[in-house]
């Protein structure tokens, strides 16, 4: 008995319609990246395991896909792994190609990544990221441009979003003022889950990670800080008065919000002190974008990293970047039915012929129309017209050009609008006018 075909959990096949929708997302994002002067690169699917390990925090390391057999030599431990994100490979790329790069270097990258996560709605083991970064500049103009890109991408896609922003220096300052400066990573990993597991579970995890009850209690008013952005920043200046690092984070956020105002950004932006993002390489601003009309979690995230290239031998090179989660964006657009109707079919005209002579007649027409930029199909055999029309319906092709003996005699075709049912005898020039 033949084995039933399957694919690994957390992976998916994509139909033609799904690919049309995915390409709509990718092309929209690419077009916005290009507006700001970003250039595309690609990196290999697999990296040396040493490149990946220790860059994503304790939990990230657990989710790395390790390659057991890379076709070289037997090893006690895997020497390679599938990339977990696009940022660390990008840092490796920058160091490896630094003689060829002009700084600040503005790159974008759209490729799949892999994580050994538990598959669930909106969470996959193989998924695409659309990353955009500027590296080689400390200027907070980088943060502003990324915020502007977020605004424009989601405006074009028609998704209402809120951008949450924080600063890792503020989180470091909080760890200092509550008396746990060495527990910053433990604090950030725990509070980053606040919206998923709730305050009580976060507090329990903080205690499990070694924070004293006094420190946990000292953290509560900070996590519950309310008011508008100005109010929160003013309060933070008082709370973090004893932390130089924390005050530097407040200063950076104040500058970013000043740039946002100067640039006329209308995006919904919230200062979120619980936002931590559990990646160890962030050092400054951190971002997370959530759809307001769909319950699916973060659909874009990123932040500032001051020395990610240092681990590869190029210290003191600052960068900032964000990643658009294409698969989650896909799910949001699907849930909210926001795809353009034009994505239903790539084919604009189907030629349906009654016989072999008519089929050959259609070849010349198809060549002419394709030369004018129209997407054209010819049904490959003179089957019953009902069957040919059913094919057009199934593919949601908007027009069918019917070719019979009478049409050939007049050097025309009968053009049928598949939506209205209207039919009209037309020439090549007329068909171009009707469809273009």
pLDDT over threshold 80, residue 9: yes
Q: Among 92-96, 112-116, 178-182, where is mean pLDDT lowest?
A: 178-182
333: confidence class by pLDDT, cuts 50, 70, 90: very high
For residue 74, the model assigns a pLDDT of 57
Helix (H/G/I), strand (E/B), else coil: 152? helix
The sheet with strand 319-325 has its strands ordered as 39-40, 105-114, 126-135, 319-325, 298-305, 285-291, 161-167, 268-271
pTM of the model: 0.87
pLDDT digits (tens, 9 = 90+) for 391-402: 999 999 999 999
Looking at per-residue pLDDT, the higher value among 326 and 185 belongs to 326
CB 435 within 8 A of CB 417: no
CA distance 267 to 290: 12
Query: Is pLDDT above 90 for 342?
Result: no
Confidence (pLDDT) at 296: 86
* 105-130 as b/e: b if 16+ CB within 10 A: bbbbbbbbbbbeeeeeebbbbbbbbb
Which tops the pLDDT comparison, 327 or 251? Answer: 251
> Which residues are 128's β-sheet partners?
112
Same fold for the pair 16-335 and 345-435: no
pLDDT of the residue at 76: 62
> Among 162-166, 180-184, 348-352, which is the least confidently predicted range?
180-184
Calpha distance 243→173 (Å, rounded): 5
Q: What is the pLDDT of residues 307-319, one digit of tens each?
A: 888 888 899 899 9
Q: What is the pLDDT of residue 73?
A: 62
Res 49 pLDDT > 80: yes
Give CA 181 to chain center in angstroms.
34
As a whole number, the mean pLDDT across the chain is: 91
Of the chain, the percentage scoring pLDDT greater than 70 comes to 97
433 vs 72, residue with greater confidence: 433
The answer, yes or no, to whether the previous bond of 104 is cis (omega within 30 of 0) is yes
**β-pair type (349-353, 399-403):** parallel
Residue 324 pLDDT grade (very low, low, confident, very high; cuts 50, 70, 90) = very high
What does the alpha-carbon distance between residue 419 and residue 398 come to, in Å, rounded to a whole number?
7
Q: Which of 187-201, 237-251, 287-301 has the lowest mean pLDDT?
A: 187-201
* pLDDT tops 60 at residue 361: yes
Residue range 331-355: average pLDDT?
Answer: 91
Closest to 255 (Cα-Cα) out of 233, 239, 240, 235: 233
What CATH architecture applies to the domain 345-435? 3-Layer(aba) Sandwich (3.40)
**Residue 128, SS3 per DSSP:** strand
Q: How far apart are CA 374 and CA 361, in angstroms?
A: 18
Would you give the distance in Å from CA 414 to the centre of its chain? 44
Per mean pLDDT, which range of 68-72, 298-302, 310-314, 315-319 is the poorest? Answer: 68-72
DSSP state letters, 378-396: E-SS---HHHHHHHHHHTT
Place of tokens 């915020």: 147
| More confident site: 173 or 221 | 173
124 has a pLDDT exceeding 90: no
pLDDT digits (tens, 9 = 90+) for 105-114: 999 999 999 9
**Per-residue confidence (pLDDT) for residue 158, from 0 to 100:** 97
Interior CA angle at 250 toward 245 and 252, to 5°?
95
**165-203: b or e for each residue (b if 16 or more CB lie within 10 Å)?**
bbbbbbbbbbbbbbebeebbbbbbbbbbebbeeeeeebb
How far is residue 52's CA from residue 415's CA, in Å, rounded to a whole number?
A: 58
Report the pLDDT averaged over residues 169-190: 88
Q: Give the separation between CA 176 and CA 253, rounded to whole angstroms.
A: 19
| Residues 6 or more apart whose Cβ sits within 8 Å of residue 138 | 318
Query: Domain residue spans in the chain?
Result: 16-335, 345-435
Residue-level pLDDT at 2:
80
Q: Read off the pLDDT of each residue in 233-248 and give the average, rounded to a whole number.
A: 93
**Is pLDDT larger for residue 436 or for residue 423?**
423
Output the pLDDT for position 26.
97
* pLDDT for the residue 303: 94
Q: State residue 294's pLDDT score.
A: 93
CATH topology of domain 16-335: BirA Bifunctional Protein; domain 2 (3.30.930)
């Amino acid at each position: 008995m033949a084995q039933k075909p399957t694919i690994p959990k957390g992976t998916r096949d994509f139909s033609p319609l799904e690919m049309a929708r995915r390409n709509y997302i990718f092309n929209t994002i690419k077009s916005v990246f290009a507006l700001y002067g970003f250039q595309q690169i690609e990196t290999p699917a697999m990296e040396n395991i040493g490149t990946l390990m220790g860059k994503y925090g304790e939990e990230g390391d657990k989710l790395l896909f390790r390659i057991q057999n890379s076709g070289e030599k037997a090893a006690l431990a895997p020497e390679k792994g599938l990339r977990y994100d696009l940022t660390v490979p990008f840092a490796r790329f920058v160091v490896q190609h630094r003689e060829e790069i002009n700084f600040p270097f503005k790159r974008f990258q759209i490729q799949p990544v892999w994580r050994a996560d538990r598959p669930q709605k909106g969470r996959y083991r193989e998924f695409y990221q659309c990353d955009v970064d500027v590296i080689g500049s400390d200027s907070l103009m980088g943060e502003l441009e990324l915020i502007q890109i977020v605004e424009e991408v989601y405006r074009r896609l028609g998704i209402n979003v809120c951008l949450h922003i924080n600063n890792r220096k503020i989180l470091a300052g909080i760890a200092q003022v509550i008396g746990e400066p060495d527990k910053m990573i433990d604090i950030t990993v725990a509070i980053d889950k606040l919206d998923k597991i709730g305050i009580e579970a976060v507090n329990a995890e903080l205690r499990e990670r070694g924070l004293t009850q006094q420190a946990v209690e000292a953290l509560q008013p900070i996590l519950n800080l309310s008011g508008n952005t100005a109010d929160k920043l003013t309060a933070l200046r008082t709370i973090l008065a004893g932390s130089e690092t924390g005050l530097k984070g407040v200063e950076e956020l104040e500058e970013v919000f000043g740039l946002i105002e100067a640039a006329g950004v209308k995006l919904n932006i919230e200062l979120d002190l619980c936002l931590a993002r559990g990646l160890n390489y962030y050092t400054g601003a951190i971002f997370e974008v959530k759809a307001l009309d769909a319950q699916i979690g973060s659909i874009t995230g990123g932040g500032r990293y001051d020395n990610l290239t240092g681990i590869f031998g190029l210290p003191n090179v600052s960068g900032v970047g964000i990643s658009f989660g294409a698969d989650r964006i896909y799910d949001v657009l699907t849930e909210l039915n926001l795809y353009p109707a034009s994505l239903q079919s790539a084919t604009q005209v189907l030629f349906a012929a009654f016989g072999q002579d008519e089929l050959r007649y259609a070849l010349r027409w198809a060549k002419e129309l394709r030369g004018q930029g129209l997407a054209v199909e010819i049904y490959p055999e003179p089957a019953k017209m009902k069957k040919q029309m059913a094919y057009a319906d199934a593919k949601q092709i908007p027009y069918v050009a019917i070719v019979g003996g009478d049409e050939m005699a007049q050097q025309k075709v009968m053009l049928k609008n598949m939506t209205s049912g209207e039919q009209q005898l037309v020439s090549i020039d007329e068909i171009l006018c009707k469809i273009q």
